[in-house]
Amino acid sequence: FSTVSPNGNTIHPAAVEAILRTARTLEALGHEVTEGSPSWDYAMPANSLAMVMGAAGAKTVEDRLAALGREIRDDDIEPFTRFLHDRMLSISPLRLVEALQQIEIVSRDIARFYETQDVWLTSTLPVPVPELGVIDTTNVDSVFAHAGRFAELTAVFNVTGQPAASIPAGFDADGLPVGVQIVGRHCSEAILLQLAAQIERESPWPTIAPWPPPSKR
């Protein structure tokens, strides 16, 4: 487990406590729990990750347009998705190959951690749950300004191909949910599901949302 982000950023206190609490639960269940985290060049995958995910999104849009037999319209997709789509159509294939190569390097770096560990336990979000409207998905600049920080513990696994699960882990002082994340080796989905089930049995999470909702308090 780790209570700091791999890029050196801090994780908010409620999430740190959730990580430590979950680690203690796992230890009580008989698991060997040690502190540590994967190590990779965090600066490398940022643009490459956006490139690979953007290419996948653009291909999905193009496939749909081909099925419809028409060109894209302004109201077909959200502005940020449209931005990525249009950007990817103008990107050199060589740049996409370079991005894939960089992702492969990062994947290999992360895989070294799993030579001695089965699962990495960390937070889902490194910051408290943002208020509604903080990320304006109709504004490209707003998405770029906030998404990197919110997704710094999760996004990389979208391209390394490793299974991960976000597990409810209580609430912060404002009544907002806190999640922990478990990330496994490649093809270890069964282990993650078993581990999540164990945690749920020992620390059941509420099945009814808190009322009144935090936004109304």
Count of domains observed in the chain = 2
- CA 201-176-154 angle, to 5 degrees, is 75
Q: What's the pLDDT band for 193 if we cut at 50, 70, 90? A: very high
Let me know whether 55 and 148 are in one domain: no
Let me know whether 30 and 47 are in one domain: no
Confidence (pLDDT) at 217: 61
pLDDT tens string 66-98: 999 999 998 999 998 999 999 999 989 999 999
Let me know whether 8 and 67 are in one domain: no
Confidence (pLDDT) at 203: 86
pLDDT tens string 40-55: 887 776 778 888 888 9
Let me know whether 144 and 194 are in one domain: yes
Confidence (pLDDT) at 16: 97
Q: Which residue do the tokens 């956006």 mark?
A: 50
DSSP state of 2: -
Contact 39, 197 (CB under 8 A): no
* Domain termination residue (choose one: 111, 142, 175): 111
User: d(Cα 124, Cα 80) in Å, to the nearest integer?
Assistant: 23
Half-sphere exposure of 200 (CA within 13 A, CB side): 12
Give the domain range for residue 189. Answer: 1-38+114-217
Contact 90, 117 (CB under 8 A): no
Backbone angles phi, psi at 3, to 5 degrees: -110, 15
Tokens of 45: 């995958």
* Domain termination residue (choose one: 111, 138, 158): 111
Q: What's the pLDDT band for 185 if we cut at 50, 70, 90? A: very high
Contact 184, 163 (CB under 8 A): yes
Strand pairing category for 164-171 and 177-184: antiparallel
Q: What is the CATH number of the domain that holds 9?
A: 3.90.1300.10
**To which H or E segment does residue 146 belong?**
helix 140-150
